Amino acid sequence: MKKNIRSALLGLVLTHATLYANEYRLGDGYFLNVRGHVGFEYWAFPEADVDDISTLFGNLDLRLHPREKWEIRLHPRLVVDFENSDRSRVRPPLFDDLYFNYYSSKFEVRAGYQIFSWKTVESNSPADFLNQKDWEEDLLDPEKLSELAVRARLVAYMDNEHIFEFYLIPYHRPAMLPRVDNPYYFFPSSFMITNDRNEHQYAYDMGAWMPQGAARYSSTYLDFLDLSLFYFFGYDRFPGLFEKSSDVTGNTVVAHEYRPIMKTGLTFQGVLGSWLLKGEVVANNHLEEVTQMPPPISETDNPSNRTFEIDPFVAYTVGFEYTLYSLLVQNHDVGLILEFLGDSDFNTPVGDLGSFRPFRSHVFGGLRYAWNNVSDRSVLIGGMYNYWEAIENGETEFLYQAEFSERLFKHLVVKIRFSDLVITNTRSQLYSFRDNMRLDAEALISF
Amino acid sequence: MRHILVLMLFTTLSFAAEKSEGRKIAEKVDANNRGFGDETVHTTMYLISARGDTVVRKTVNMTLEREFSEDYSIIQFLDPPDIKGTGLLTYQNPAGDDQQWLYLPELRRVKKISSANKSGSFAGSEFAYEDITGNTLNKFTYEKTGDEEYEGIPCYILTKTPNYKNSGYTKIRMWVDKEQFLTHRMEYIDRKNSLLKVQTFGEWKEYGKGVWRPDQINMENLQTQKKSSLIFKDRKMNRGLKESDFTQRRLERLIH
């Protein structure tokens, strides 16, 4: 069965690889833009007792439009994991975008499945929460899942542009969490996390159909600072996990609980000379008590659900980026990034946090070396370090990654990545992943 | 003594007259660039390594002409395909650093970037950012430094010196034809006072009233032997573009 699928998909890859088209004219005044990519990724885990992962992925991005006023976008995405079918995204098909967009100089409305970005920082973004994430596909770097939403934009011109956005998200999309065969599964195997939405628990009777909303204002100030302010009401994206039942083999079934939350915050990015300053600050207020199971430590552990309040907290990431141009060699640039990640609950025990918040007292440092040559060769090195645990308790918690990428033959981009976690802090939410050193190789053909 | 003073005064006045003439020539060259209202053009960029390997980049460029040379522009990549849709929005600031935003379509993210590095390479080519994002008149001081024929065309030699920070050049020499004030050749002198690059222009065409554009621009780096060429096609002007067409929101859609 798997061989048949592989053969069929390989044929699809070759077909798509030759479809080097951009824009087609359809009838009188309508156009179709086509782009996409297919790729293959291989993950090896030299230290962990888990199978290597090989994944075929791809997407097709179609835009139908009459050049102005509106467009329809259809953007399906496919993921096939040859070893672990839980990570595959084939049935039902995934759509990163499936929307109608109307726009004018002062008003826009976009309705359908769509992905948003409020992100201004390079590391962990507390403000980029609107979309649910696919933690099951890659816990370290999850893809966003599209949300069914309506977004309206109103533009006011005074000295410059002031943008008011209003979001309505009528349906809460549940998270996809790693399940028991996933290399990033974070519970002992006798605890079975389920992603079945029929098992999930919601604080309100309307369940996943409770309307969620957001409002956002953005503009540029002092001729250099892009500032946005936002408000959100809806369900928290990352669930609490509670003991639901036991299955026939005696394993504990762990289901998701989604709680209402109010978020207010701001983001900024501004350039002063060669310095790029950026940051995000988000205040979080859970509106109801939460029910949650403490994380089990062993197969025989027997934690019980408990109900408690999560205190309001503030999460932030602030930092800067500085580029050194032609530092050592003409046209070779070095970008330096430094960001501080914090949380007002930085000293709270993980059992009282209520969700996955691993970066509460960290500093992120990154370096990008770009050759600025025709093949866009670059090297990225970055690391996240928990300075508070190091200072207070002498513990080590350092997550780091290196990546090399280069374009070959116009349509092919290759990447090699290495990531690892060095950790002695047993209280960290990342401690479960201490053996997950990972080597990635990826090849991507774009058209 | 009096003869010496007269001679010094005469030399000073002559020198001042040459400088003024340089500025006048530069203003006529600039006049050929301005008056377009707005402009959209498809650009194919050929990047040629020292070994002769060639890579192609394609972009669509939109520009809105505004007062005091505070133009707005968007450059959106069409090729190579993995960066299609990546866009650069620039608000020019003749008095200081431009404001620039980069749109990353895979992330749906608009990122602010620094424009302080004027000398950095644009898209891996031999064109620096300062070569592409506006040769605003007041960013240079001008001096007519000679007369010479270039490919049989009588030209002024105009030398311009950047008066803004972070330029990669100490001066730039231009061969400007005496009749139509079109530039045919430019030589870029780097910070070590060595000849770095030579730029030449293909056939000049007039678009509308007094607006001239070349159909090709070539840049050769004499120190690395690398070359880049820009070929322009489908150029349109005065389409009625507005400031609202040059916003971060506009970067999210494809440009045609």
Query: Confidence band (pLDDT; 50, 70, 90) for A1?
Result: very low
Q: What is the pLDDT of residue B134?
A: 61
Per DSSP, helices labelled H in chain B are: 2-33, 129-132
Q: Which of A63, A106, A271 sits opposite B114 (nearest CB)?
A: A271
Nearest-by-CA chain A residue for B111: A120
- Beta-carbon contacts of residue B66 (< 8 Å; ≥ 6 apart): B72
Taking only the tens place, the pLDDT of each residue in B100-142 is 999 999 999 999 988 877 777 888 889 988 888 767 888 899 9
Q: Is B74 exposed, middle or buried (0-12, 13-18, 19+ CB in 10 A)?
A: buried
C-alpha radius of gyration, chain A, whole number: 23
Residue found by looking up tokens 């200081």 in the block: B96
Q: What is the pLDDT of residue A317?
A: 98
> Alpha-carbon distance A281 to A198, whole Å?
34
Closest-CA distance, A337 to chain B, in angstroms, reads 13
ω into residue B80 within 30 of 0, thus cis?
Answer: yes
> Alpha-carbon distance A373 to B247, whole Å?
29
Residue A306 near residue A349, CB atoms below 8 Å: no
Q: What is the pLDDT of residue A17?
A: 35
Residue A145 near residue A172, CB atoms below 8 Å: no
Taking only the tens place, the pLDDT of each residue in A320-375 is 999 887 767 766 788 899 999 999 988 888 878 878 889 999 999 999 998 876 66
Test mutation, B82, B89, B127, chain A, max A CBs within 10 A: B82
Residue B181 DSSP code: -
Region A294-303: what's the mean pLDDT?
Answer: 77
- pTM, two decimal places: 0.90
A331 with B114: Cβ contact below 8 A: no
Query: Confidence band (pLDDT; 50, 70, 90) for A118?
Result: very high
Taking only the tens place, the pLDDT of each residue in A143-200 is 999 999 999 999 998 888 999 999 999 999 999 999 988 889 888 888 899 999 999 9
Q: Which of A37, A108, A161 sits opposite B82 (nearest CB)?
A: A37
CA A291 to chain centre: 25
| pLDDT of residue B79 exceeding 80 | yes
Percent of chain B with pLDDT over 70: 92
A411 with B49: Cβ contact below 8 A: no
| pLDDT of residue B2 exceeding 90 | no
Region B78-97: what's the mean pLDDT?
Answer: 90
Taking only the tens place, the pLDDT of each residue in A208-246 is 999 999 999 999 999 899 999 999 999 999 999 998 888
Test mutation, B42, B84, B111, chain A, max A CBs within 10 A: B111
Nearest-by-CA chain B residue for A114: B108
What residues in B contact A273, CB-CB < 8 Å? 97, 114, 116
Residue B97 DSSP code: P
Q: Which helix (H) or strand (E) holds A327?
A: none
Contacts across the A-B interface (CB distance below 8 Å): 103
Q: Which of B55, B100, B242 sits opposite A374 (nearest CB)?
A: B55
Q: What is the pLDDT of residue B168?
A: 87
